[in-house]
Chain A
Amino acid sequence: MATTAAPTFAAPADYAVGEGWRSWLGTTDHKKIGYLYFFTALFFLMFGGAEAELIRWQLRAPNQHFLSAETYNQIFTMHGTTMIFLVVMPMSAAFFNLLIPLQIGARDVAFPRLNAFSYWVYLLGAIFISAPIFFNAAPNGGWFGYAPLTTTTYSPGLNIDFWALGLQILGISSLAAGFNFITTIINMRAPGMNLMRMPMFTWMAFVVQFLIILAFPVITIAVVFLVFDRFFGTNFYEISAGADPLLWQHLFWVFGHPEVYILVLPAFGLVSEVLPTFSRKPLFGYPVMVYSGILIGVLGFGVWAHHMFAVGMGPIADTVFGVTTMLIAIPTGVKIFNWIFTMWGGSVQFTTASMFAIGLVGMFTIGGISGIMHSSPPADLQQTDTYFIVAHFHYVLFGGSLMGLFAGIYYYFPKLTGRLLDEGLGRWHFWLNLLGSNLAFFPMHFSGMLGMPRRVYTYDANQGWDTFNMLSTIGAITVGVASLIMVANILISRKRGALAGNDPWGAGTLEWSIPSPPPVYNFAYIPRVTSRYPMWDLTSPQLTAEVPHTRAGDKSVEIDVAGIDAGHVGPRPGGASVRRGAGAAGASVRVPTADELGIPIPYTTLKPFFTALGLTIMLSGLPFAHADKPAIEYTVMFVGACMLVGSLYWWLTTPLEPEVAHAEHTH
């Protein structure tokens, strides 16, 4: 394991101490927003996990009636919706927030208030879509809500209204964050941080933002059609009016397949940070990793109809989408091999983070192989809508996305909080998680092959499914225990974990050059970046000998920046000898405040919160139309709209931060 922290580090500033609720509600600091995303997503992980446990408890044996069919529909719909939109995407967003500015050497994101807005919209949208489960009105049409099944004819009641409107709210959150991060990555890189020097996580985040801003408008329109059909009597999904029953499926999967890569690429990025650090080797084939990530993103828009082989699109469409789907295995396989070659010949350290990363490589490969199996339309016809598919996407989303995010949690928790997670509990988490997830999901391949359909709330005995289902349930309970261990670890270590210092893992990228948690301004002076691993250039140059460098500085950058190296706590380079943080010298150093450095910091502001609240209130008025309360409907929508427009004007007409010139005069 890497060095544990020496007791001489300055105690990390605890975000939650002495600042009060207003500092959270009004924060524009990307790290605090990341912190909020992290703990909200963690809460919903438990929520979605509890739903999974209910599903598995129902299916543990044949002919169970622990849940009614109607409740079961709500639970499995909410399990999928929660895990995708309320857990994996926001947990990825937590890492985008925490890491993108730190990895590119920036002081915040491009639009700090828009960033706060994204979080509040996510939180309120999550409450909007989840709360109905306590009133037996949760969405019940599956996470992909196929119309015409979800039109009022077949789905009366408020369930689908909450799903459709909740999805619109969550989409606004993702889109706003997408524009923000794209601008941040394009425009806020430190001098010398070329695109081909960006850390792989930031690269994958960059690709994901493009997927988000190009894919979410499509689902927005599909859901607009559904909302119009349900509320205003349009005919988009009305088959008797001549509507195409496949319209929804096409629009949904044009969004839905890029969404799969939106879910998994951030995890790939995290693993690409973790494995080099713990192999003590630069990432193998960095340029190819970049290109394969981009290629996955591009091809991801051309494979959507492989979700629809069973609907009878005809041999030509089936063939084309089968081939593009097989093609996408190439860049994905490239990534798998590059991770293996990164570890090959390295001195691999087995920390919890690296074990989860290696776990992803194995588990995702299993999911990838079953994916290639049903990229072939004839094979897919046997497998579609069976538990075989459930096994496949849990291997890629649990074994891929979540294990990658877990690796990221163990790796970056010190940067987020200043304290390390407990490695002992981490081992328990990892092994129980690995054992439990394989026990839960591997037998599903067999129950699926034996014909067990997805989404059934119970099944008859003696079809050969009983044992496999019992095994899956035992596995799910094991995963539940493992997840509780992780939550306990996080809650305990947040206050009592070992102090981390700047760089507990001996990593190579920029975020490890600054204190943990970073000061509000991140970098006291903006570093000039001369290679992909600026920290390794300082601490262990032998590791980066083969990585391209510009030692003399980047000629294309005219602005003269503070130093040629990445560290900033300690005197400037060229002066005294301490170049890397106080920890290296063993002296306790107080981190200077932004005011002392004359760095303008955005004002704390409630306007993004009120704007998000107005938006949510406005849309939550609409379901009253189906409860025959038009007066309440119009009142709530009007109040929400006024709040939205008012807050937006208030927001746009006030400055973000103090004027720079003014701040500098005070020194």
Chain B
Amino acid sequence: MATTALSAIPSSDVGHGYTTTGLPHRKVAIWAFIGSECMLFASLISTYLIYKGRSVRGPFPHEPWTDPSTGHVYKAILNIPVTSCSTFVLLMSSLAMVLALAAVENRDKPKVTLGDRILGSSRLWLFMTAVLGATFLGFQAFEFTSFVHEGLSIRTNLFGSSFFTLTGFHGAHVTAGVIWLLTMLAIDFKRGLGPKDALNVDIMALYWHFVDVVWIAIFTLVYLIK
């Protein structure tokens, strides 16, 4: 009897997709994830700052160092002009990301002018974001190899260990973001991204912007402050 009564009732009274806050689950989760990531980078950055100036041997980030045993003079390691360029590239990638998200959201709107078509191309802006992200990684690869050539490896001293680990973790996050972007781009080429995919792109964008913001903190605390 009860079974009959129940099966006559529409199943999902609180419809599928209903949430208490009105936000999609994944949006809540990505914010929780970003909060957690803040603690991850906070631990890395704190360690770098605590160990700043504690290395018993060079090379050092901001000042030259003469090896007392060999007399070899090591330059100051950090190259601020080059890293300013890569920082600019990464910040521009956030702009491209914003345009990509807008293009996905507005896919169904009519595009009249060439400008509309360019601004409305999610493929172009996803591609641009990925390229700018990859360019940043290229800068980082160049930076890492030149530091090693100048005599600083991850094993050399506390500066090397904490610097490479911190920036390496950030680089790994950018790499994951680039792979994510390329995956989205592949889906876009396969079937086109539309407003129903906007949430997925939005979440990726939140991650991407977060990784950018972390870089601003790293650039300021590690490179600019002497």
Evaluate contact between A228 and B13: CB separation under 8 angstroms. Answer: no
Evaluate contact between A218 and B9: CB separation under 8 angstroms. Answer: no
CA A528 – CA B60 in complex, angstroms?
A: 64
Evaluate contact between A213 and B35: CB separation under 8 angstroms. Answer: yes
B113 on the A face (CB < 8 A): no
B7 on the A face (CB < 8 A): yes
Q: Which residue of A lies closest to B39 (CB)?
A: A217
Closest CB in chain B relative to A329 CB, distance in Å: 26
Contact with B along A175-197 (1 / 0, CB 8 A): 10011101100111111010000
Evaluate contact between B29 and A571: CB separation under 8 angstroms. Answer: no
Closest CB in chain B relative to A152 CB, distance in Å: 13
Evaluate contact between A228 and B165: CB separation under 8 angstroms. Answer: yes
A562 on the B face (CB < 8 A): yes
Evaluate contact between A111 and B36: CB separation under 8 angstroms. Answer: no
Contact with B along A458-475 (1 / 0, CB 8 A): 000000000000000000
B28 on the A face (CB < 8 A): yes
Cβ-neighbour of B11 out of A222, A224, A598 (below 8 A): A598
CA A213 – CA B29 in complex, angstroms?
A: 11
Closest CB in chain B relative to A180 CB, distance in Å: 7
Evaluate contact between A242 and B56: CB separation under 8 angstroms. Answer: yes
A660 on the B face (CB < 8 A): yes
Q: Which residues of A contact B70 (CB under 8 A)?
A: none
From known contacts A220-B40, A241-B157, A242-B54, infer whether A572 and B11 are also in contact, taking CB-CB under 8 Å: no
B3 on the A face (CB < 8 A): yes
Evaluate contact between B21 and A179: CB separation under 8 angstroms. Answer: no
Q: How large is the interface on A (under 10, 10 to 19, 20 to 34, 35 or more residues)?
A: 35 or more
Give the B interface residue count (CB, 8 A).
Answer: 47
CA A251 – CA B40 in complex, angstroms?
A: 11
| Chain A stretch 584-622: residues in CB contact (< 8 A) with chain B | 589-590, 592, 596-600
CA A217 – CA B10 in complex, angstroms?
A: 44
B69 on the A face (CB < 8 A): no
Evaluate contact between B158 and A111: CB separation under 8 angstroms. Answer: no
Q: Which residues of A contact B56 (CB under 8 A)?
A: 240-242
Cβ-neighbour of B55 out of A224, A232, A242 (below 8 A): A242
CA A189 – CA B13 in complex, angstroms?
A: 14
CA A440 – CA B56 in complex, angstroms?
A: 49
Evaluate contact between B21 and A187: CB separation under 8 angstroms. Answer: yes
Evaluate contact between B2 and A178: CB separation under 8 angstroms. Answer: no
From known contacts A241-B158, A561-B14, A600-B16, infer whether A592 and B165 are also in contact, taking CB-CB under 8 Å: no
Cβ-neighbour of B36 out of A175, A225, A244, A247 (below 8 A): A175
Q: Which segment, of B43-51, B76-84, B101-109, faces chain A?
A: B43-51
Number of A-B contacts (CB under 8 A): 166
Evaluate contact between B14 and A582: CB separation under 8 angstroms. Answer: no
Evaluate contact between B6 and A597: CB separation under 8 angstroms. Answer: yes
Q: Which residue of A lies closest to B14 (CB)?
A: A526
| Chain A stretch 562-593: residues in CB contact (< 8 A) with chain B | 562, 569-572, 575-576, 578, 582, 589-590, 592
A524 on the B face (CB < 8 A): yes
Q: Which residues of B contact A667 (CB under 8 A)?
A: 7, 11
Closest CB in chain B relative to A653 CB, distance in Å: 9
Q: Which residues of A contact B40 (CB under 8 A)?
A: 217-218, 220-221
Evaluate contact between B2 and A235: CB separation under 8 angstroms. Answer: no
Evaluate contact between B28 and A182: CB separation under 8 angstroms. Answer: yes
Q: Which residues of A contact B3 (CB under 8 A)?
A: 589-590, 592, 596
Contact with A along B1-40 (1 / 0, CB 8 A): 0110111011111111111110101001100110111011
Evaluate contact between A524 and B165: CB separation under 8 angstroms. Answer: no
Closest CB in chain B relative to A343 CB, distance in Å: 33
Q: Which residues of A contact B50 (CB under 8 A)?
A: 244, 247
Main DSSP-derived SS at the B contact region = helix
A162 on the B face (CB < 8 A): no
CA A596 – CA B9 in complex, angstroms?
A: 10
CA A584 – CA B80 in complex, angstroms?
A: 76
CA A173 – CA B5 in complex, angstroms?
A: 42
Evaluate contact between A243 and B19: CB separation under 8 angstroms. Answer: no
CA A526 – CA B47 in complex, angstroms?
A: 49
Closest CB in chain B relative to A566 CB, distance in Å: 13
Contact with A along B74-113 (1 / 0, CB 8 A): 0000000000000000000000000000000000000000
Closest CB in chain A relative to B204 CB, distance in Å: 12
Evaluate contact between A247 and B47: CB separation under 8 angstroms. Answer: yes
| Chain A stretch 217-258: residues in CB contact (< 8 A) with chain B | 217-218, 220-222, 224-225, 228, 232-236, 240-244, 247, 251, 254
Closest CB in chain B relative to A559 CB, distance in Å: 6
CA A570 – CA B7 in complex, angstroms?
A: 11
Contact with A along B153-178 (1 / 0, CB 8 A): 01101101110010000000000000
Evaluate contact between B155 and A232: CB separation under 8 angstroms. Answer: yes
Q: Which residues of A contact B47 (CB under 8 A)?
A: 221, 225, 236, 247, 251
CA A221 – CA B155 in complex, angstroms?
A: 18
A216 on the B face (CB < 8 A): yes
Cβ-neighbour of A179 out of B9, B12, B16, B32 (below 8 A): B32
Cβ-neighbour of B39 out of A218, A232, A592, A649 (below 8 A): A218
CA A597 – CA B25 in complex, angstroms?
A: 24
CA A175 – CA B35 in complex, angstroms?
A: 12
Closest CB in chain B relative to A292 CB, distance in Å: 23
From known contacts A187-B19, A525-B9, A600-B16, infer whether A182 and B39 are also in contact, taking CB-CB under 8 Å: no
From known contacts A179-B29, A224-B165, A241-B55, infer whether A589 and B2 are also in contact, taking CB-CB under 8 Å: yes
Closest CB in chain A relative to B97 CB, distance in Å: 20
From known contacts A183-B25, A592-B3, infer whether A598 and B12 are also in contact, taking CB-CB under 8 Å: yes
Q: Which residue of B lies closest to A233 (CB)?
A: B155
Cβ-neighbour of B14 out of A180, A228, A241, A559 (below 8 A): A559
Q: Which residues of B contact A240 (CB under 8 A)?
A: 56
Q: Which residues of B contact A186 (CB under 8 A)?
A: 20-21, 28
A334 on the B face (CB < 8 A): no
Evaluate contact between B43 and A110: CB separation under 8 angstroms. Answer: no
Evaluate contact between B43 and A187: CB separation under 8 angstroms. Answer: no
Evaluate contact between A599 and B12: CB separation under 8 angstroms. Answer: yes
| A189, A234, A240, most chain B CB atoms within 10 A | A234
Q: List 18 A-B contacts (CB under 8 A).
A: A110-B29, A178-B36, A183-B28, A183-B32, A187-B25, A190-B14, A213-B36, A218-B43, A221-B44, A236-B165, A242-B55, A242-B158, A524-B9, A525-B9, A526-B14, A572-B9, A599-B11, A664-B10
